[in-house]
């Protein structure tokens, strides 16, 4: 894939995506002809009940799975033609992930966890990791390990880690799921700041609080997107 910035193209787009699985009782349609565009500088909340297809859609947006029909476009280019190695490389460069359960390495400090996605790169990203942790309010927690951090602090470390490679898109899976309301609001404020810097943010969630902070909310029910 071209390493240009895809000027004029949205960071990520799903075009007519259908995803079907072979289940014990027959074919299951997880996504049904879904069109969806991630816009720069916008927070979009994808909401829906369990089993509605949210995880499948997140996997499509994260270039982790292939559709049965339809196409995924990253910076205006179709992803289908990429090899597995190319896809991994472009995902690392262009897409950041924030998970409900943080996925921090317990034996590493906050700085080391943030630097983790760059471990196979030649450059030293320590200064950028320190800067990102400062931006999310953790300048005084650089050397702390996850067991020395609160839930909200862990989520902020995870957000900083997702930004280490300056992605075009940030995908958040239930970003407030393990947080109390006050901490969730603080984390969502950080996510809004990230979008204000030009990153396209998509949050997949059950939490109506996320919708309050989103620029756009869409509903996913039985694999069909509305909104």
SS3 track for the chain: CCCCCCCCCCCEEEEEEEEEEEECCEEEEEEEEEEEEECCCCEEEEECCCCCCHHHHHHHHCCCCCCCEEEEEECCEECCCCCHHHHHHHHHHHEEEECCCCCCCCCCCHHHHHHHHHCCCCCCCHHHHHHHHHHCCCCCCCCCCHHHCCHHHHHHHHHHHHCCCCCCEEEEECCCCCCCHHHHHHHHHHHHHHHHCCCEEEEEECCHHHHHHCCEEEEEECCEEEC
Rounded-to-integer distance, Cα 68 and Cα 195, Å: 31
> Does 33 map to a domain?
no
> Does 78 map to a domain?
no
pTM for the whole structure: 0.89
Residue 7 has pLDDT above 70, yes or no: no
Average pLDDT, the chain: 91
H/E stretch holding 213: helix 208-213
Contact at 8 Å (CB) between 118 and 164?
Answer: yes
Poorest-confidence range of 18-27, 37-46, 185-194?
18-27
> What pLDDT is attached to residue 49?
87
> Does 131 map to a domain?
yes
Rounded-to-integer distance, Cα 12 and Cα 38, Å: 5
Structure tokens, 140: 């005084």
Label residues 134-160 b or e (16+ Cβ within 10 Å = b). ebbebeebbebbbeebeebbbbbbbbb
> Does 8 map to a domain?
no
Rounded-to-integer distance, Cα 66 and Cα 59, Å: 9
Confidence of residue 26 (pLDDT cuts 50, 70, 90): confident
> What pLDDT is attached to residue 178?
85
| CATH number of the domain bearing residue 193 | 3.40.50.300
Please count the CA atoms within 13 angstroms of the CA of 57 that sit on its side-chain side: 36
pLDDT tens digit sequence for 73-102: 998 889 988 888 898 889 888 999 998 889
> What pLDDT is attached to residue 51?
86
> Does 58 map to a domain?
yes
Q: Which domain holds residue 63?
A: 38-67+83-219
The domain total for the chain is 1
> Does 201 map to a domain?
yes
Cα dist. 2→77, 86, 87, 108, 143 in Å?
Answer: 8, 11, 12, 34, 37
Residue 5 has pLDDT above 70, yes or no: no
Q: What sign for the dihedral angle of Cα 119, 87, 61, 58?
A: negative
> Does 18 map to a domain?
no
Confidence of residue 18 (pLDDT cuts 50, 70, 90): very high
> Does 17 map to a domain?
no
pLDDT tens digit sequence for 95-115: 999 988 899 999 999 999 999
Share of the chain above pLDDT 90, in %: 71
> What pLDDT is attached to residue 162?
94
> What pLDDT is attached to residue 16?
97
Residue 8 has pLDDT above 80, yes or no: no
pLDDT tens digit sequence for 115-151: 999 988 888 999 999 999 999 999 999 999 999 999 9
């Amino acid at each position: 894939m071209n390493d240009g910035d895809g000027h004029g193209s949205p960071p990520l787009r799903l075009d007519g995506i259908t995803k079907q699985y072979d289940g014990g009782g027959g074919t299951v349609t997880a996504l049904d002809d879904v069109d969806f565009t991630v816009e720069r500088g916008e927070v979009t909340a994808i909401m829906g009940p369990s089993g509605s297809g949210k995880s499948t859609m997140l996997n499509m947006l994260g270039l982790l799975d292939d559709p049965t029909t339809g196409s995924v476009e990253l910076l205006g280019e179709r992803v289908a033609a990429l090899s597995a190695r190319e896809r991994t490389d472009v995902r690392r460069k262009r897409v950041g992930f924030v998970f409900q359960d943080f996925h921090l390495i317990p034996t590493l400090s906050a700085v080391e966890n943030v630097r983790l996605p760059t471990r196979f790169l030649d450059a030293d990203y320590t200064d950028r990791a320190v800067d990102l942790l400062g931006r999310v309010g953790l300048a005084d927690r650089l050397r702390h390990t996850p067991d020395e951090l609160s839930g909200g602090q862990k989520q902020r470390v995870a957000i900083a880690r997702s930004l280490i490679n300056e992605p075009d898109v940030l995908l958040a899976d239930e970003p407030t799921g393990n947080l109390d309301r006050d901490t969730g609001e603080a984390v969502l404020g950080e996510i809004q700041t990230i979008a204000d810097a030009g990153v396209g943010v998509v949050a997949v969630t059950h939490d109506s609080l996320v919708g309050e902070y989103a620029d756009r909310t869409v509903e996913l029910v039985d694999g069909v997107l509305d909104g």
